[in-house]
Amino acid sequence: MGGCVGRASVILAVILLTGCSSLLPSERAETQSPFADYLDAEGRFAQAIPGRTTRPELFSLGFDPLIQGNGRMLSFIDIRLMFVQPNIPLAYLPDGLVQCLEAKDRCIGYAFEFSKSDSQRVGNFWADIFNFRKKREIQGWAFRAVFVLVDDRLVHKVSSGEPNIRRYEVKRNPLGPVQGAGEFFSDQLK
């Protein structure tokens, strides 16, 4: 009987030691978008042509703040605050932005930000669970776009983003599980 308990203990220890890394937590964060990835968003952005693309055509490309979501609607004042800097003459602005500022209430804008990231904890299970060292790998993409329209016709667009996010974070706590105890107890006394 003692031999069976010993073997069961060994088998249990082997299972615990080999499968521990899969027990680390993971996260996925996504700002919902109609785009599969960064290149898809960039490709649709390229299809919007200033001077030609209308508001319904822009919406059909996936840049619709009402249906697709995750977009901000901008007034011409918002656009002015976003693009016009103090001590820089308006002549330096692209023609579409000048046209917007002159049109005032007939000018609107849309600002979008889409992103997707996957975060995996990696490393030693025991160091992580006892709070000595936490390692995290983050992968994903982020795409931002601003569209400016006058009388429902696109006059200016600009984009930026991160097509290939690759980050590695390490958090070390030399005291392990005791490291945050002081903060925990001080929060409890409040």
Residues 157, 41 contacting (CB under 8 angstroms): no
Q: Is residue 65 part of a domain?
A: yes
Residue 178 inside a domain? The answer is: no
Place of tokens 């490709």: 43
In the chain, which ranges are E strands? 26-31, 71-75, 107-122, 133-150, 153-172
Query: Does 64 map to a domain?
Result: yes
Q: Does some domain include residue 152?
A: yes
State the 10-residue block means of pLDDT for the chain, 190 residues long: 58 53 60 85 96 96 88 94 86 92 95 86 69 78 95 97 82 70 59
**Is 15 a domain residue?**
no
Model pLDDT for residues 129-151, shown as the tens digit of each residue: 667 777 778 888 999 999 999 99
Q: CA nearest 166: which of 136, 135, 134, 137?
A: 137
pTM recorded for the entire structure: 0.72
How many domains, the chain?
1
Domain membership of residue 62 as a residue range: 25-116+141-162
Q: Does some domain include residue 39?
A: yes
Does 93 reside within a domain? yes
Looking at the domain assignment, is residue 87 inside a domain? yes
